[in-house]
Amino acid sequence: MSGVVVLGGAGGIGSAVVRALLAEGRQVAVVDVAPPERVDVPWIRGDASDPATIDAAFDALGGVTGLVHCLLSEHRAPFAEQTADALRRVLDIGAVSALEPLQQLVARAEGRPCAAVLVSSIHAGLAWGGQAPYAMAKAALEALGRAAAVELGPRGLRCNVVRPGFVMVPRNAHRWQNTDTRDALTGLQPLGELAQPDDIARVVAFLLSDQARAVSGETVTVDGAMTAALPEPPAT
């Protein structure tokens, strides 16, 4: 089967995506700033916003027709204390870094069908105190994905976005490992349980597959219906 480049493949969701793709028999190359965690895939350690790093990832596999963007950055601070420099850095890592890989994917596919999945967040459509740069980057990533689907679709690209809700990854372990916080978060989920990284990875793998051959330009929310629920006012 054809190869997939996974940007941010060492993260909680990224590593689950790598496992899911390997289980399907796909070839995978990982780009991450973290030291290599696996010996069964080409692991390019470097900045995914560097074109040379992206070149190395695509060169490591023959016939790449898939791309997954799992990169993120945060600068948590009250809105009044945010700076333009911090905002630009978060945007560069969380959104701008997807441009070069998308261009490379289409160029190297040379007209063959190819697919990309950009991993966003429910923060792209909602606001949470102290997270303005992160929310802005994820919203920009989604906009970039839609533009790619429309403009590059005639050249064979399907591009979709997965928008996870709260996922039990190491980055937020301080929340789900605390019993009270975990219970509160679970209470926000109509399905009554928190998502695991593998839950997101399975959706990503589906969108990359031929089973989703007619799906493009979509944002798929995976949050257990949390953002679909309208809070009920207190009974009078």
What is residue 200's predicted lDDT score, i.e. its pLDDT? 96
Count of Cβ atoms closer than 10 Å to residue 233 Cβ: 6
What is residue 125's predicted lDDT score, i.e. its pLDDT? 92
**DSSP H or E run through 108:** helix 99-109
Establish whether 145 is a catalytic residue.
no
CA dist list (Å): 43 to 22, 109, 116, 199: 14, 21, 19, 24
**Is-above-0.75 flag for pTM?**
yes
| Under 8 Å between Cβ of 1 and 12 | no
Q: Of the residues 28, 53, 91, 134, which is catalytic?
A: 134
| Under 8 Å between Cβ of 166 and 186 | no
What is residue 146's predicted lDDT score, i.e. its pLDDT? 98
What is residue 1's predicted lDDT score, i.e. its pLDDT? 56
Residue stretches of the chain with pLDDT short of 70: 1, 173, 236
